[in-house]
Copies of this chain bind each other. A is one copy, B any other.
């Protein structure tokens, strides 16, 4: 059973993955007229038409205008073989373009990663070497885990100065927090610090994430959980004061319940 060598418009557009209207349009502008019309006016495309359409689609994928394609395909002395070779050339060029764009992106990605790790260095500055290495490794290994990737990328988007500033503010904050570890999580001093903490995260995110929405109830609870459940985060917190991780975790939870409860 040889393939029936004529197609209706519907069959051809199905075959080629283009819309009916596109074929009608190509007919209108004489880019690809069906070989003949049946008596009822229906378009009847042949195998040759299908081949030509394939050519057209390749040129279209190469961003040629229909006018240009028309000139190419209907040129006097049109030579299929040459045309195919030319298309190959152009495709190769386009491929090269894409590869160049990919290399460009890779460079950007690399530089962002590099910056991230440089800024991680800054972040763990002044912390005993073994611990720092341990935490840093844990942090870097999180790249690839959806949730943390963008957190780390915020570091990557900061300049070194900003990173230093960020660390400084962190040091100051956690030192201050260490001073209130003996107070109840509901104590105004504690809650004031937590409010600062949340505000800090908000402004950090807001500056680097477009249209960032302020931390809500659930997200705060999640931060509270992570503070104690992620071992390295917990250790980093506890570095500033014994039991700081658990304390701030509960304090954040309390804060969220009091201030961010759903309406």
Q: Chain A: residues with CB nearer than 8 A to chain B? A: 58, 61, 73-82, 84-85, 87-88, 91-92, 94-95, 97-99, 101-102, 105-106, 108-109, 112, 149-150, 153, 156-157, 209-213
Contact = CB atoms under 8 A, between A and B. Distances in A.
A108 B84 contact: yes
A85 B102 contact: no
Contacts of A61: 97-98, 101
A252 B133 CA distance: 89
B109 A85 contact: yes
Given A81-B156, A153-B81, A88 B75 contact: no
A82 B143 CA distance: 11
A48 to B, nearest CB: 10
A213 B77 CA distance: 8
Given A79-B150, A80-B157, A156-B81, A102 B88 contact: yes
